[in-house]
Amino acid sequence: PYIALIVSGGTTALYYARSYHDFSLLGRTRDDAAGEAFDKVARLLDLGYPGGPLVSSRAEKGNSSYLSLPRAWLNENSLDFSFSGLKTSVLNYCNNCKASQRDIAVEDLCAAFEQAVVEVLVEKTILAARSTDIDNVVIGGGVSANKRLRFLMSQRCFEEGKKLYVPAPTNCTDNAAMIAFSGLKQFERGIQGSLIEDVFSRSNLGQ
* Residue 81, helix vs strand vs coil: strand
- Give the pLDDT confidence score for residue 200 in this predicted structure: 66
Q: What is the mean pLDDT of the chain?
A: 90
Domain holding 184, by residue range, is 2-188
Residue 19, pLDDT score = 87
User: Is there a domain that residue 146 lies in?
Assistant: yes
* Total domain count, the chain: 1
CB 17 within 8 Å of CB 70: no
Domain-located, residue 33: yes
Would you say residue 29 lies in a domain? yes
Distance CA 87, CA 58 (A): 17
* Residue at 195 is within a domain: no
Low-confidence ranges of the chain (pLDDT < 70): 200-207
206 lies in some domain: no
**Which conformational region is residue 163 in: left (phi greater than 0), alpha (psi within -120 to 50 degrees), or beta?**
beta
Distant-in-sequence, close-in-space partners of 122: CB < 8 Å, separation ≥ 6: 149, 152, 153, 156
Residue 196 lies in a domain: no
Give me the pLDDT at residue 204, please: 61
pLDDT score of 79: 96
Question: Is residue 198 domain-resident?
Answer: no
Indicate whether 176 belongs to any domain. yes
The neighbouring-strand residues paired with 205 are none
> 45 with 106: CB under 8 angstroms?
yes
pLDDT at residue 205 in the model: 62
Tell me the CATH number at 11.
3.30.420.40
Radius of gyration of the CA atoms of the chain, in A: 18
